[in-house]
Every structure is written in structure tokens, then in C-alpha cells.
Amino acid sequence: MKEEIVLGNVMVDCGDAAALQRFYGALLGWEQRVLYGCPAVRSSGGVVFLFAQEEDYAPPVWPEEPGRQQKQMHFDFQVESVPEAAERAASLGAVRAPAQFGGEDFVTMLDPAGHPFCLCRK
């Protein structure tokens, strides 16, 4: 039986992480807390949104327009072994992002289209 990889968290880039945490906490009725050093909200079922504050944040334009800021989210997947999952992702066509910030907790990869996602230790 193959080990299933499950979705861990959804990371949302923004200009004010605390404000977005309060908004989603109130909108969804989810618990507000800090996880992985980020403001976060968590559902009773364990779904987590993390909010990453970016100094140069530019909100996306919707509907999307050529040459304008696109959506700003990426997936975090929870895995038993970060190195093994990264190796498997690479074997499927992903590449390790040049900049890494997770230490042993997570690794950031780029999918074949260049979208970032993180493989996070459970």
C-alpha cells in the first residue's frame, strides 16, 4: 500500500497577516492561533490557513488580466519524511526552490509549471 500524502495547510500571502487572520477567523468561525510562526486559522476538522505577510504584497486582479498580479497562494502538504517526499516530488518533475526557509520542518518545491508548494513534516 502506498503512503498517502495529505494536504496540510493553505498559505495565503498578504499585506497584513493579522488582519487577514481576524477576517477569516470571523468569517469561517475557525480558531485563531499561530502555527509555524505565522498567524493562522484552523477548522474543527483540522484544515489550516496560514497568513504570510509580504512587505511588497500586491493584491491579485480578478478576473485575471495579462501583465497584472495573479493569485498568491500555494499548497503545504504534510508528509512523514520531508527528504523522501522531496526526492519523490523531484522524480515526478518538481525542482527544489532556490530559496529555502524551513530548516528540517519543510522544503519548498516548484512544480513543473513553476508554482511553489511545501512538503511539511507532520
The string of pLDDT tens digits covering residues 15-58 is 999 999 999 999 899 999 999 999 999 999 999 999 999 999 88
- Report the pLDDT averaged over residues 52-69: 86
Per DSSP (E only), the strands in 1-122 are 6-14, 31-35, 38-42, 48-53, 73-79, 95-96, 106-110, 116-121
More confident position, 68 or 31: 31
